Amino acid sequence: MKGKLESSERERLVEEGKNLKESLVTLEEDLVKLKDELQHVAQSIPNMTHPDVPVGGEDSSAIRKEVGCPREFNFPIKDHLQLGKDLDLIDFDSAAEVSGSKFFYLKNEAVLLEMALLNWTLSQVMKKGYTPLTTPEIVRSSIVEKCGFQPRGDNTQVYSIDGTDQCLIGTAEIPLGGIHMDSILLESALPLKYIAFSHCFRTEAGAAGAATKGLYRVHQFSKAEMFVICRPEDSEFFHHELIQIEEDLFTSLGLHFKTLDMATADLGAPAYRKFDIEAWMPGFGRFGEISSASNCTDYQSRRLGIRYRPSEPLQTGPKKGKANLPATKFVHTLNATACAVPRMMVCLLENYQQEDGSVVIPEPLRPFMGGIELIKPKLK
């Protein structure tokens, strides 16, 4: 229409232009809606799975490693709830009045034990080059979703704050994933390795019937979480580094445990591969999960928008991004529990109890508890 035209020709073009414009507007609206719908259904597609992961349900998980053996007791043993009462360490009853079920107060040496566990874990993991962090425990719900959790479903594990779009975190993995969201990192900055402390809050809705006794399943607990951001080719390596750190920690504490390669039906949507550690809990008479280490490959980074720019400039080719810079790639993220305090406490109390009702403190923790070697029954 920029050229010189006959008036009838011009009018015809104007008409055609108008039609095209209207059609475009409609189609563009449809496109937006389609893209939204596509996003919505596609986001449910779980991560791919490592070829070595056993296929099947809970019973198909493979044992990678077993450390120690169940301690033999020559006296009738107590579970952690009884020990907690007798040694004045745990109060569930007052908490039920103040807050509701599955809340608790820790008292006396149990407080020192929690602090020793966290302090010792921090110092051990820092030695492996992990940067210590504390994190917000209130986050925007969009971050929760981008990490692969469902804040708004029925039976959601997530507490929401009234009148806001904010939630309480169920794990430090969430604010850790959020630190570098919508960022492009330099390859030279990778890997980023964090160990973060936080309190964690979980509704445990839908956990009725599952093991819920005492400290095993609670609404609020302290946890030290490891988080790694790395290049895709390195995530397998770091998955093994993380599980090794966990196994070393629990071995040092003298626990009897097994490391499981979780089967396909037991992986969360984000996990490419997941190693769980279950420790022997004599009071329950069975193994209970004390940690979990997941390789989420690029599932979370594609949602959180965490990319990196490779260092070496690429040759001229179809993959070249802006100007002379290589195209960015998505990082891989991994997360692993270094210490979930209540479950550790179940293990330590139940495994280290003595006939006289006292509990021995494992050696590595003693310097972090002012040298205390034993939790003794208190005189009344």
Please identify, among the stretches 52-60, 95-103, 262-270, 279-287, the one whose residues bind other proteins according to the rule CB under 8 A: 95-103
Q: How many residues bind other proteins (CB under 8 A)?
A: 52
The residues, ordered by sequence, that sit 6+ positions from 141 with a Cβ below 8 Å of its Cβ are 151, 152, 158, 160, 165, 166, 167
Q: Which of 292, 303, 307, 350 is catalytic?
A: 292
Choose which of 68, 136, 232, 268 interacts with other proteins (CB under 8 A).
Answer: 136
End-to-end alpha carbon distance in the chain: 98
150 binds other proteins (CB under 8 A): no
Q: Is 273 within 8 Å of 53 (Cβ atoms)? A: yes
Q: Give CA–CA dist 345/367, Å, rounded.
A: 17
The encoded tokens of residue 197 equal 């402390």
The label of the residue with tokens 């969201």 reads 181
Choose which of 46, 77, 103, 145 interacts with other proteins (CB under 8 A).
Answer: 103
60 has catalytic annotation: no
Q: How many CB atoms lie within 10 A of CB 118?
A: 19
100 binds other proteins (CB under 8 A): yes
Please identify, among the stretches 35-43, 195-203, 243-251, 357-365, the one whose residues bind other proteins according to the rule CB under 8 A: 195-203
Q: How far apart are CB 355 and other proteins at their closest, in Å?
A: 27
- Which among 5, 67, 37 has a CA at the least distance from the CA of 287? 67
9 has catalytic annotation: no
108 binds other proteins (CB under 8 A): yes
Q: Which of 202, 231, 273, 303 is catalytic?
A: 202
Which residues between 155 and 194 bind other proteins (CB under 8 A)?
159-163, 166, 168, 175, 178-182
Q: Which one-letter DSSP state was computed for residue 313?
A: P
289 has catalytic annotation: yes
Q: How far apart are CB 94 and other proteins at their closest, in Å?
A: 5
Choose which of 65, 71, 85, 199 interacts with other proteins (CB under 8 A).
Answer: 199
Hey, what long-range contacts does 177-182 have (CB within 8 A, 24 or more apart)? 177/143, 177/146, 177/147, 177/227, 177/300, 177/304, 177/306, 177/333, 178/139, 178/143, 178/146, 178/147, 178/304, 180/229, 180/304, 180/306, 181/143, 181/146, 181/304, 181/305, 181/306, 182/304, 182/305, 182/306
Q: How many CA atoms lie within 13 A of 79 on its CB side?
A: 11
Choose which of 72, 97, 154, 233 interacts with other proteins (CB under 8 A).
Answer: 97
Cα 203 to chain centroid distance, Å, stands at: 16
Nearer to other proteins, 21 or 107 (CB): 107
Choose which of 61, 121, 124, 135 interacts with other proteins (CB under 8 A).
Answer: 135
114 has catalytic annotation: no
292 has catalytic annotation: yes
Binding site for other proteins (CB under 8 A): 91, 94-95, 97-100, 103-108, 111-112, 114-115, 118-119, 122-123, 131-140, 143, 159-163, 166, 168, 175, 178-182, 197, 199, 201, 219-220, 222, 370
- Catalytic sites, residue numbers: 202, 217, 289, 292, 343
